[in-house]
Amino acid sequence: MKNAKAHPPAVKEPAQVHQKPERTEKAFAQRRQEVRRSDPQAGQRKDPLEGLEAVDRLIVALDFPSADAAMEMVERLEGCCRWFKVGMELYYAAGNRVIEQLRERGYEVFLDLKLHDIPNTVAGAVRSVTGVGASLLTVHAGGGEEMMRAAAQAASAPGAPKLLAVTVLTSMDATMLRRLGVSDGPDADDAVRAQVMRLARLARTAGIDGLVCSAEEVAALRAAMGPQALLVVPGIRPADTAGRRDDQRRVATAAEAIAHGASMLVVGRPITQAAEPARVATGILAEIAASRS
Ligand code: C5P
């Protein structure tokens, strides 16, 4: 991975999102002080995951049809989260403004647009969202090495987000892959892992910063890519959801994903559709904290 960092730094803030509410500013300053007090060597470690707080490793997916609905959830999660994911549903409805709203409140933004088009178009899309305030942006590794290289080149500009390549969607299993013509490997699970590894190698060659994969492949990817690789894992389901997977196929608990080597986790419906979202988020943070990779 090109300069992959487990916790990407906040992108440079565009001028219009500089005024954060005082309340959030105060909370963040206080937190920074607490971190320094508890750990005077923070910032001097070699392993980027070491010492990261659980809250830096949880990204809540705001899959909502409007900025109002999304921001209502953000309010309900205040104090529990530092990262929010804006995906296609919210971005197509609310555009860059919702990213700015999140940045104004001091949150980090993962813009999950899963870009997949010809290289020129994807590079243009990366340029279009540069400077808006997202720290992370996704492209589909299935778009190929040339597409990813064009995206990486566009993302080398100041203010551009770090790029993550989505390998095999967590909603897919070996049977679905086989129907797409991807079926190598001696058994079904191997076919998924082999495809994830193949796409990950292409992404690395193309200069992409990190990868999105399921908890089932993250240990193999961690072994292949090393401790610095930024590996983001969706498809998280708390142990007490009684097997509820929604449309996801390759799922795991937060503790399992972290133990297998995930840098950061993406969690949507288990938090946002819960009766008490903050309580579920806090439970997941406790799982992350208890299960250091
Ligand atoms: O609600 P749930 O926890 O399943 O949401 C997972 C989120 O992660 C969704 O926003 C989805 O778009 C995203 N995602 C995923 N699988 C990937 C990449 C992203 O589920 N491979």
Please give the pLDDT value at position 23: 39
Task: Identify which of 88, 140, 170, 284 to mutate to test ligand 1's pocket (most ligand atoms within 8 A of the CB).
Answer: 170
Q: What is the C-alpha separation between 171 and 246, in angstroms, rounded?
A: 9
Q: How far is the CA of 251 from the centre of ligand 1 (A)?
A: 11
Whether 61 and 91 have beta carbons less than 8 Å apart is answered as: no
**Averaged pLDDT, 200-218:** 95
Q: What is the C-alpha separation between 259 and 248, in angstroms, rounded?
A: 20
Active site residue 5: no
pLDDT class for 186, splitting at 50, 70, 90?
low
Of 3-7, 119-123, 255-259, the range with the lowest mean pLDDT is 3-7
Q: How far is the CA of 207 from the centre of ligand 1 (A)?
A: 23
**Model confidence pLDDT, tens digit, residues 35-58:** 334 444 443 434 445 667 999 999
Of 167-171, 181-185, 220-224, the range with the lowest mean pLDDT is 181-185
Please give the pLDDT value at position 160: 96
**Averaged pLDDT, 155-167:** 97
**Pocket of ligand 1 contains residue 246 by CB under 6 Å:** yes
- The number of the ligand 1 atom at minimal distance from the alpha carbon of 88 is 12
Please give the pLDDT value at position 43: 38
Whether 109 and 99 have beta carbons less than 8 Å apart is answered as: yes
DSSP string, 85-143: EEEHHHHHHHTHHHHHHHHHTT-EEEEEEEE-S-HHHHHHHHHHHTTSS-SEEEEEGGG
Please give the pLDDT value at position 292: 66
Please give the pLDDT value at position 135: 96
Whether 270 and 63 have beta carbons less than 8 Å apart is answered as: no
User: Using CA positions, which residue lies closest to atom 2 of ligand 1?
Assistant: 268
**Pocket of ligand 1 contains residue 267 by CB under 6 Å:** yes
- pTM for the model stands at 0.84
**Model confidence pLDDT, tens digit, residues 268-289:** 999 999 999 999 999 999 999 9
**Pocket of ligand 1 contains residue 195 by CB under 6 Å:** no
**Averaged pLDDT, 220-231:** 94
**Pocket of ligand 1 contains residue 274 by CB under 6 Å:** no
Catalytic member of 5, 12, 20, 114: 114
**Pocket of ligand 1 contains residue 139 by CB under 6 Å:** no
Q: Is the pLDDT of residue 2 over 50?
A: no
User: The domain 54-290 is classified under which CATH number: 3.40.50.12780, 3.90.1150.10, 3.20.20.70, 3.40.50.300?
Assistant: 3.20.20.70
Please give the pLDDT value at position 99: 98
Please give the pLDDT value at position 253: 93
Please give the pLDDT value at position 143: 96
Q: How far is the CA of 169 from the centre of ligand 1 (A)?
A: 8
Q: Is the pLDDT of residue 205 over 70?
A: yes
**Pocket of ligand 1 contains residue 234 by CB under 6 Å:** yes
**Pocket of ligand 1 contains residue 170 by CB under 6 Å:** yes
Give the mean pLDDT of the chain. 84
**Model confidence pLDDT, tens digit, residues 53-76:** 999 999 999 999 999 999 999 999
Please give the pLDDT value at position 128: 97
Q: How far is the CA of 214 from the centre of ligand 1 (A)?
A: 10
